[in-house]
DNA sequence: ACTTTCACTCAACGACTGTAGAGTGAGAGG
DNA sequence: CCTCTCACTCTACAGTCGTTGAGTGAAAGT
């Protein structure tokens, strides 16, 4: 197994365990629903140790919802599909924690808004054309809605089908808004 | 002004004031974030009166998130646009309360899932064809994503434009999935 | 006019929360 | 082998929560 020798290494390892426990609890119950005690119990640790490691529950939350940066060269829509996963059966824990609290915790709302605004800007720049911002925002918000409906609400029509099927079925339709003029003739 | 005479009428009036205060507070801060005390203060009433009227905070919440039934003869997509408003600048208070808590309060999650499942079924029945359920679910989840991105996250590209503009711009694209086969050629 | 009803307020409870500070014991350093 | 360090636990506190039961005073009933 991986039993680290040095004291600092052991401490870092429990810090990581606490962080992962926090992401799970935040992802399941949200910022307010998850308690320091429940996080500590999941990590097999005393509640006060959680505070000693991360300063406060809110500081821990801020770290727990950090999304991975977009790797250069990735296609923008593809990265969004990875983070707001529509491919796999399960969401990354930090995404799950962020989305779960994004409607009730102001820090999470702001983090999600910043993330999506950046994604919209990248997508609009790549697509170009008239109304590029609006069409990019449509694509992004639709992916967000799909993620919520599939992974959090578990709608009947979305929960049962496979991730790849969703991608091959849905992606062309979603990205269609980027290439066409969505405004109808008046 | 409207000062009701009978005792029962006065009581019913304060019950209504409490309910409206609850919808506002739940819509702003969610089920956990809103407190009985904050609801009572907004209604200009003692906290215990809130409980006397509605039994418990959770019972009050269950009533506060009830959505209006679909009026017969309405087009399904139109009703959805009304409830998950993309037309007006502001959401109905019960919708706002429901959406706000739908990711953190199990009762709200269930209520939203039931509501959207029914909407998907109606839409799929009206559209018909292959993959009707999936395409209807795509439309519905996209409208949901749009509502969240616009009214709760306030994305730059969506927050500033007018409701009617959104409808005339977005609706054709959203409902397009209902009439076409979204699956690409293999 | 006297009594009763009842919509409402007041005060308090037990439970639970995030967090601080003292204590402890195993391992690092010499 | 002794001492010190420090990762961790224990105990406790102050605040907030939902909810209860007794009390109050104005209006309804007679």
Q: How far is CA A18 from CA A25, A55, A59, A93, A169, in A?
A: 10, 13, 13, 13, 38
Report pLDDT digits (tens) over A36-50.
Answer: 999 999 999 999 999
Residues B24 and B81 in one domain: no
Nearest by CB to residue A158, choosing from B30, B141, B172, is: B141
Tell me: the pLDDT tens digits for A119-142?
A: 999 888 887 777 888 889 999 999
pLDDT digits (tens, 9 = 90+) for A138-159: 999 999 999 999 999 999 999 8
Domain check: are B19 and B98 in the same one?
Answer: no
Identify the residue with better confidence: B171 or A6. A6
Residues B84 and B49 occupy one common structural domain = no
Q: Does the residue B1 lie in any domain?
A: no
The answer to whether the Cβ–Cβ distance between B177 and A173 falls below 8 Å is: yes
Backbone angles phi, psi at B162, to 5 degrees: -80, 155
pLDDT digits (tens, 9 = 90+) for A74-102: 566 667 776 666 666 789 999 999 999 99
- Count the domains in chain B: 2
Residue A29 falls inside a structural domain:
yes
Give residue-wise pLDDT tens across range B117-173.
Answer: 999 998 888 877 778 888 899 999 999 999 999 999 999 999 877 767 777 777 777
Q: Is the pLDDT of residue A171 over 60?
A: yes
Judgement on whether residues A53 and A86 belong to the same structural domain of the protein? no
**Residue A42 domain boundaries:** 7-64
Question: Which of B20, B35, B64 is the last residue before a domain boundary?
Answer: B64
Predicted local distance difference test score (pLDDT) of residue A185: 40
Whole-angstrom Cα distance, residue A91 to residue A151?
Answer: 8
Q: DSSP 3-state assignment of B92? A: coil
- Is residue B174 located within the same domain as residue B147? yes
Instruction: Please say if the pLDDT value at position B44 is more than 60.
Output: yes
Residues B52 and B84 in one domain: no
Tell me which of A47-51, A56-60, A67-71, B144-148 is least confident: A67-71
Residues 6+ apart with CB under 8 A from A79: A70, A71, A119
Asked if B145 and A141 come within 8 Å (Cβ–Cβ), the reply is: yes
Q: What CATH number is given to the structural domain containing A41?
A: 1.10.10.60
Q: Provide the chain A residues 2-31 that lie in CB contact (below 8 A) with chain B.
A: 29-30
Determine, for residues B158 and A145 on separate chains, whether the beta-carbon distance falls below 8 Å: no
- A119 shares a domain with A42: no
Instruction: Evaluate whether residue B94 is within a structural domain.
Output: yes
Average the pLDDT over B43-58 and give the result: 98
Contact B26, B19 (CB under 8 A): no
CA B27 to chain A, closest CA, distance in angstroms equals: 10
Total number of residues shown for chain A: 186
């Amino acid at each position: 197994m991986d039993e680290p020798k040095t004291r600092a290494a052991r401490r870092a390892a429990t810090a990581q365990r606490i962080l992962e426990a926090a992401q799970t609890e935040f992802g399941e119950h949200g910022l307010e629903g998850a308690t320091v005690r429940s996080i500590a119990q999941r990590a097999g640790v005393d509640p006060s140790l959680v505070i000693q490691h991360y300063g406060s529950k809110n500081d821990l939350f801020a770290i727990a919802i950090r999304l991975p940066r977009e790797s250069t060269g990735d296609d923008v829509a593809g990265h969004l599909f990875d983070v707001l996963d529509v491919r796999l059966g399960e969401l990354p824990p930090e995404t799950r924690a962020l989305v779960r609290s994004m409607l009730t915790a102001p820090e999470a709302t702001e983090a999600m808004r910043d993330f999506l605004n950046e994604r919209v800007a990248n997508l609009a720049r790549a697509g170009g054309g008239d109304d590029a911002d609006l069409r990019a925002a449509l694509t992004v918000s639709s992916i967000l809605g799909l993620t919520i409906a599939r992974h959090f609400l578990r709608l009947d029509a979305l929960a049962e089908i496979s991730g790849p099927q969703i991608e091959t079925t849905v992606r062309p339709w979603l990205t269609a808004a980027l290439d066409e003029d969505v405004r109808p003739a008046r």
